[in-house]
Structure 1
């Protein structure tokens, strides 16, 4: 059964939390990042962008030891505090007063990733795993929980609802209009109950953070081999995780943008699409798919609906039935000549919050020639693919919530 345990977080002091917490580094544009670095000396971005202190861009392995230095400086200056006893943290995120996510921040055992008790649905790139594993070994902390989902659980819901009635340790709102709340669960009885309830579950599903978890497992495996007294309980064996009921996940799609039609004319392209899709030209009428196996397409100033033909609905497995795989199998690979979805520069992805209007805008300015809109997949599809040991194509799901860096930090 998956193992979950409390941990002693390093975290911002109450008066600094709204200043420290940041989005992941890569989610900012260069201008946004520089504005925060220029005007907020407490931003976690200063830690993960250590060269800013010298007005020099430093990345890759050269930056790792400097990241560690910046982190130690933040602690020395009192921006971070160390928890006195192990806790489990209840974290609630409210997006624009419409979406609400409530989950537990705790540590999951890296070995459960190897044993398939934490199931995955995405492939990882080994070079990225290796690099991030080196990073973790140098800095010896993790500031971004992976996102793990579990079946709805009445007992855990009741415990969370009771805790929410208390005053939170943190309450802050971001410029993205996200309000974050954090409660400390530090009494032994509640911790033991939460750990026991989680450990009674047969499996978890990793919703987001596949590279981070894989890197943490790789590091744990290496450190275990280097430690003659390894027991499995050392901090390096555990991965900070945000555990959330599966009914609370918000799963959005990634739309596709293609730079050219692979040498085909518009008419030739439509004729080839007609082999496997019912096509309707919707002109200027904005179209977004409303069910599985339906796609939207924007081409030459017009919207189209594409419905997969009934002859193609006999699927061999859960991956073959996935819309992202269908688009790849029937369009991207055979017609547009895109084999490698990760590295081909002719394809780009736009997460679903940007809608088809973003796709239309990029095609209209001729940055791309055609765009495809997807219907988001369901949690059941993710779980089935994970259960069957299959892997989704890259950029199939954009899953909310996205956590802020630096709210809780796991040192090891």
Structure 2
């Protein structure tokens, strides 16, 4: 039984929503973030990454950076860049990429559901990455980047979302990367109750993307509980900002691999070792795998199709993932890449960048590339349901949710 509640949203004035909406804070390095804020001073990145307001002598994680984030947020609320809705509502958030539409509901999820594993995880988090967002949420007393959650589609929610999309949108704009964004508000009490009750009938919610943001928001909420020992559970700090999408509308793109060397093997010796676990077929064109257990390999300016042999295919929810098959049967035993999270010899390329990027990398700083068949949302659910963890860099979600369109104040 999931608690997904409507909330009083702080959101951009309609006239500037397209300028405020920003990609997530963690897709930029500092130099890129500064360039983006210079290009668009109203970008929410100025608040999400407030080190953009300082020169490079100020550390990214300095106290004054988080103070500046709070100052900017307060100033932009005061000057009307942001407005505050005083009614509790859900917000329908529709994103269209290359003609493909996915629609979620912006709402607040329960930190108790997170703690009790009603909201399921599939990824470990790093304390250093958590601490940055803990500081940001705590200092701003607001959650500014929504967590990307998924659920098994529900007919009641589907109908309420469809009904809301018949109305005039609050926002409708196309971002610089070509993604169309539309937002609608659901404030009618009957519709709000229908959605709330429908989610209450859903047993499992899944973090699709944003594990660090979720963990940080929860830890701030627990900290606020400690400082308010008489808390009732209804306070806003008991909830965190999310956008929830039905599984039927989500698209996971492949997360491809590039490798810097052949671990001392010649091309021919390497191919012989690969052929022990995979059937190898040379291809005249770039290989984009069309089904599970098939991989593309780019080596020595040639493309190959690799087909996993039956004895390395598994029904296990983790070991049966294509990323695990490649890691366990080629990257580790042949190339000596034991921990892909820390090994500097491997890098990862989001599927959004295409197969030509793999070829480019192999002409630049790598010698070998693998194109992957994307992990499915059903596979992600199965791993989370089993209480297991996905291998590193298993999923690449597109399009990315924008920050700054929805802000959840956790305390005045």
Is TM > 0.5 for Structure 1 vs Structure 2?
yes
Q: Which residue of 1 aligns with 2:331?
A: 332
CA distance in 1, matches of 2:217, 2:30: 28
Q: Supply the distance in 2 between the matched residues of 1:50 and 1:145 (Cα, whole angstroms).
A: 18
> Equivalent residue of 2:125, what SS?
coil
Instruction: Work out the CA distance in 2 between the residues paired with 1:40 and 1:376.
Output: 34
Query: Residues 51 and 201 (structure 1 numbering): CA distance in 2 closer, same or farther, change over 3 Å?
Result: closer
State whether structure 2 residue 351 is matched by structure 1 residue 352.
yes
Q: What are the residue-to-residue correspondences of 1:373-412 with 2, within 5 Å?
A: 373-412=371-410
| Structure 1, 137-146 or 43-52: larger mean CA deviation | 43-52
Structure 1 residues 143 and 304, CA gap change in structure 2 (3 angstroms)? same
Q: Is the counterpart of residue 67 in structure 1 residue 69 in structure 2?
A: yes
Cα distance between partner residues in 2 of 1:165 and 1:213: 32
- Correspondence for 2:27: 27
The alpha-carbon distance between structure 1 residues 390 and 278, as it changes in their structure 2 partners (threshold 3 A), is same
SS at match of 2:15: coil
**Number of matched residues?**
408
Matches within 5 A, 1:124-135: 124-135=125-136
TM normalised by structure 1 equals 0.94
**Equivalent residue for 2:243?**
242
Contact 1:319 1:392 in 2 (8 A): yes
> Hey, what's the Cα distance between the residues in 2 that align with 1:49 and 1:133?
13
Contact 1:323–1:374 under 8 Å retained in 2: yes
Deviation at 1:84, TM superposition (A): 1.3
Does the alignment pair 1:258 with 2:254? no
* RMSD after superposition: 1.7
Find the counterpart in structure 2 of residue 104 from structure 1: 105
Partner of residue 318, structure 1? 317
In 2, Cα distance between the equivalents of 1:209 and 1:169? 25
Deviation per CA, 1:154-177, whole angstroms, max 9, x where unpaired?
221111111111111111111212
In structure 2, the partner of 1:81 is: 83
CA contact (8 A) 2:93 2:183 kept: yes
Distance 1:372 1:53 in 2: 40
Q: Which residue of 2 aligns with 1:369?
A: 367
Cα offset, 1:270, TM superposition: 1.3
Give unmatched runs, 5+ long, in structure 1. none
Cα deviation code 1:205-257 (max 9, x no counterpart): 11111111112222222222232112222111111111111000001110001
Deviates more, 1:36-45 or 1:156-165: 36-45
Contact preservation (8 Å) 1:146, 1:240: yes
Secondary structure of the 1:183 match is strand
Q: Does the CA-based 8 Å contact 1:49-1:58 persist in structure 2?
A: no
**CA 1:39–1:289: 2 relative to 1, 3 Å:** closer
Paired residues for 1:163-312 under 5 Å: 163-282=164-283, 284-312=284-312
Distance change >3 Å, CA 37–CA 216, structure 1 → 2? closer
Q: Deviations over 1:19-71 (max 9, x none)?
A: 11111234347776445423433221222343444444641143212111111
Native 8 Å contact 2:259 2:367 kept in 1:
yes
Distance 1:394 1:61 in 2: 29
Provide the rounded CA distance (Å) in 1 between the counterparts of 2:76 and 2:132. Answer: 24
**TM-score w.r.t. length of structure 2:** 0.94
CA shift, 1:121, in A, is 1.6
Any idea what SS the aligned residue of 2:254 has? strand
Deviation track 1:47-103 (CA, whole Å, cap 9, x = no partner) reads: 23434444446411432121111111211221111111111111111123x110111
Q: Distance in 2 between matches of 1:208 and 1:285?
A: 33
Distance in 2, Cα, partners of 1:53 & 1:299: 44
Distance 2:147 2:16 in 1: 23
Distance (Å, rounded) in 2 between the aligned partners of 1:31 and 1:348? 21
1:95 to 91, 94, 97: 97
Distance 1:30 1:236, change over 3 A: closer
**Residue 31 to residue 212, structure 1, CA distance change in 2 (3 Å):** closer
CA distance in 2, matches of 1:362, 1:114: 41
SS class of match (1:232): coil
Distance across 2 between alignment mates of 1:280 and 1:239: 49
